[in-house]
A and B are shown apart, each in its own frame.
Chain A
Amino acid sequence: MTPNLVYVVVIGVLFAAGVSMLLERSLTRVLMGMILLGNGVNLLILLGGEAGAPPIVGGAPEEEMADPLPQIMILTAIVITLGMTAFLLALAYRSWAMSGHDEVQDDVEDKRIMMLAERDEGSGVADSDESDAAGPVAVSEGRR
């Protein structure tokens, strides 16, 4: 299909809206962003094939038919998006049930290490533990 302005603008808007939703903290909004992005991609794929009559044998002369391949690919992509939407919804619900909100959290361990770095300490484990020397594994001291 020759790209026309309406298609291009619609795809652009879908992508832009999808990306801005994706940057939100709330998982439900992220999910919405994913759906918008998915639809944008589907339209983009549709642009890749020739437009024309329904591609059914005998329905129209071959050269007037639409290209069926992008449509099939979109169908597959829609099915995958549907499954993903269901899974993400379940995840958001689970998150809401466990913690009362569906916001994407920072990684606990990352925060801990950042705190340690701010205080300019090591990674929480002293390399030469004093209990070592007295312990039965004093051998290790010799090999270090």
Chain B
Amino acid sequence: MTWLVPLPVTIPLLGAALTLLMNGRPRVQRTVSLTALTVTLLVSSALLYLSTTEGALVVAVGGWAAPLGIVLVADELASLMLVVSAAVTVCVLIYSIGQGMADGHEETPLSVYHPAYLILTAGVTNAFLAGDLFNLYVGFEILLVASYVLLTIGGTENRIRAGTTYIVVSLLSSVIFLTAIGLVYAATGTLNMAQLAERLDGLPDGLKLILQGMLLLAFGIKAAVFPLSSWLPDSYPTAPAPVTAVFAGLLTKVGVYAIIRTETLLFPGGRATVVLLVLALLTMVVGILGAVAQSDIKRLLSFTLVSHIGYLLFGVGLTSRLGMASAIFYVVHHITVQTTLFLAAGLIEKRGGSTALDRLGGLARLNPVLAVAFLIPALNLAGIPPFSGFIGKLGLIEAGVTDGGPLAWLLVAGSVLTSLLTLYAIARVWNLAFWRAPNPAMPAPEAGRCPPMMIVPTLALVAFGVALTVVAGPLFAVGDQAAGDLSDRAGYARSVLAESASSSGGAP
């Protein structure tokens, strides 16, 4: 069944080509992108099933065996991320179709939306599947280039200004990543991750630390870890709601995924533990304090996004199996919830005409469905039981307590504090936007009507987020298994090198 592995990359790319050809025929474009992403979701689910039951699936692209050719590896972690990201992209696509931004009603050159969106998906899936450092870089570039287009779509002054910051920062992180790749190649003579896992161990300690630091720096910018995070709240909120939603859900998590790979496969042993834990604490606390200071829902949510990246780093930095498993669970939870919240913010903007808190009010009475669609993911984010956010945080805190070090305890305290402040921030949104009297400046009910095509996908994601609680047991088991496999580097290297040799049928 290894032929399934490249499909999550190729299907969206083919879809992108088709939608580009169908320029100016929105109906066809919509059908093509919906089909492509639905098929991607199905394939990803199949990959998740296969990788949990039969172990990692490996494909040598073009039939060139592993150390020479490029491999795609679908292990549990990669396929789990694929499934969640595919589910999120499908929902956001339906939402954006509902919003009508795809058929040119709202702003100018939007026929480029569908191709760019599909290419973004292809980049994300490619980054998850990459078994080669350079292919990971290419995946990053694909998704970044598509994200530049999506962020500056329409070319309004605001978006150009925000886009410039975003693009320059992303380019810089790409340059750092590429430099690190050059140095890794010079030091080891390979970029295949399985082979790197074997060869990096033989390098001198100082050199290893430099390489690890450069990779973490590059991924830290993409993941919006605290001192490198200030680009995010400036750029994300200006984009159209569905674009912000998909960026918030996926792009930073690709960075976190790369950090997980670096810390487990390439440089195990936890030499960066202290740095990661300190940064995790700062990311959490500084991020959430930023959120508390905001008066615009989208910006507030961007800051909670930064803040909750800290939880993921916390789990990764602990280097214990429980910590890693909780971090994986938390990634799944956070992708879903953060996307849902941004979609809900888009609905609020549609109904209330703005996302500035001082211009909103009474939404709970005006649109109860919207209120539910915001409140449930918001409580989920803050970690109110029984939602998945609570389970994820509980796992992380338990891992921290098990670790028992002074820094781990500090992190436990920090995550509880962040959780409370998150609750404060969203309670403020709830009080101001939903519970007080309607603001007279808001549009009339007819003008602010939310199309069902926007509400249904949002509710679907809300339901998906709630369902994570129901399937928390099996999901945590998958995360635990993935965490176990991550610590087994020799097993990874063996399966990649052996399987790609057999699947290539003895090519040169």
Give me the interface of A with B, judged by CB distance under 8 Å: 22, 27, 30, 34, 37-38, 41, 44-45, 47-49, 69-70, 73, 76-77, 80, 83-84, 87-88, 91, 94-95, 98-99, 104-105, 107, 109-110, 113, 123-125, 127, 129, 131-132, 134-137, 139-140, 143-144
Contact A91 B164 (CB under 8 A): yes
Q: Which 6 A-B pairs have the closest CB atoms?
A: A135-B437, A48-B186, A45-B182, A140-B435, A123-B295, A107-B234
A35 to B364, CA, bound (A): 51
> Taking A84-B145, A107-B165 as contacts, is the C-beta distance between A123 and B293 under 8 angstroms?
yes
> Taking A95-B164, A123-B295 as contacts, is the C-beta distance between A77 and B178 under 8 angstroms?
yes
A141 to B413, CA, bound (A): 31
Q: Tell which of B5-13, B168-176, B346-354 binds the partner.
A: B168-176
A38 to B182, CA, bound (A): 12
Residues in A neighbouring B134, C-beta threshold 8 A: 73, 76
B299 at the interface (CB under 8 A from A): yes
B46 at the interface (CB under 8 A from A): no
Contact A144 B165 (CB under 8 A): no
Interface of A, secondary structure class, is helix
A91 to B175, CA, bound (A): 19
> Taking A41-B179, A104-B165, A137-B365 as contacts, is the C-beta distance between A95 and B160 under 8 angstroms?
yes
What would 29 A/B residue contacts be, using CB atoms closer than 8 Å? A38-B175, A41-B175, A44-B183, A45-B178, A49-B186, A69-B185, A73-B134, A76-B134, A80-B145, A80-B174, A87-B149, A95-B160, A95-B164, A98-B157, A99-B157, A104-B161, A104-B165, A107-B161, A107-B162, A107-B165, A123-B293, A123-B295, A125-B295, A136-B437, A137-B364, A137-B436, A140-B435, A140-B436, A144-B431
Residues in A neighbouring B161, C-beta threshold 8 A: 95, 104-105, 107
Nearest residue, chain B, Cβ from A47: B186
Residues in B neighbouring A70, C-beta threshold 8 A: 182, 185
CB distance from A138 to the nearest CB of B (A): 9
CB distance from A70 to the nearest CB of B (A): 7
Nearest residue, chain A, Cβ from B237: A109
CB distance from B126 to the nearest CB of A (A): 13
A22 to B170, CA, bound (A): 13
Contact B175 A34 (CB under 8 A): yes
Contact A137 B437 (CB under 8 A): yes
> Taking A76-B138, A123-B293, A144-B431 as contacts, is the C-beta distance between A44 and B182 under 8 angstroms?
yes
- How big is chain B's contact interface, by range? 35 or more
Residues in A neighbouring B431, C-beta threshold 8 A: 127, 140, 144
B428 at the interface (CB under 8 A from A): yes
B432 at the interface (CB under 8 A from A): yes
B296 at the interface (CB under 8 A from A): yes
Contact A104 B168 (CB under 8 A): yes
A76 to B132, CA, bound (A): 15
Nearest residue, chain B, Cβ from A134: B437
A124 to B179, CA, bound (A): 44
A128 to B167, CA, bound (A): 40
Contact B294 A123 (CB under 8 A): yes
Contact B167 A88 (CB under 8 A): yes
**Contact bitstring B177-194, A, C-beta under 8 A = 1, else 0:** 011011101100001000
Residues in A neighbouring B149, C-beta threshold 8 A: 87
Contact A91 B185 (CB under 8 A): no
Residues in B neighbouring A135, C-beta threshold 8 A: 362, 436-437
A59 to B234, CA, bound (A): 54
B398 at the interface (CB under 8 A from A): no
A95 to B357, CA, bound (A): 29
Residues in B neighbouring A41, C-beta threshold 8 A: 175, 178-179, 182
Nearest residue, chain A, Cβ from B175: A37
B479 at the interface (CB under 8 A from A): no
B464 at the interface (CB under 8 A from A): no
Contact A80 B160 (CB under 8 A): no
> Taking A132-B436, A137-B365 as contacts, is the C-beta distance between A84 and B138 under 8 angstroms?
no
Residues in B neighbouring A22, C-beta threshold 8 A: 168, 172
Contact A80 B183 (CB under 8 A): no
B240 at the interface (CB under 8 A from A): no
> Taking A94-B160, A137-B437, A144-B431 as contacts, is the C-beta distance between A80 and B141 under 8 angstroms?
yes
Known contacts A34-B175, A44-B179; 13 further A-B pairs (Cβ under 8 A): A45-B181, A45-B185, A48-B183, A76-B138, A87-B167, A95-B160, A104-B161, A123-B295, A125-B295, A127-B428, A127-B432, A137-B437, A144-B431
A91 to B166, CA, bound (A): 12
Contact B181 A132 (CB under 8 A): no
Residues in B neighbouring A98, C-beta threshold 8 A: 155, 157, 160
> Taking A34-B171, A99-B157, A137-B435 as contacts, is the C-beta distance between A47 and B148 under 8 angstroms?
no
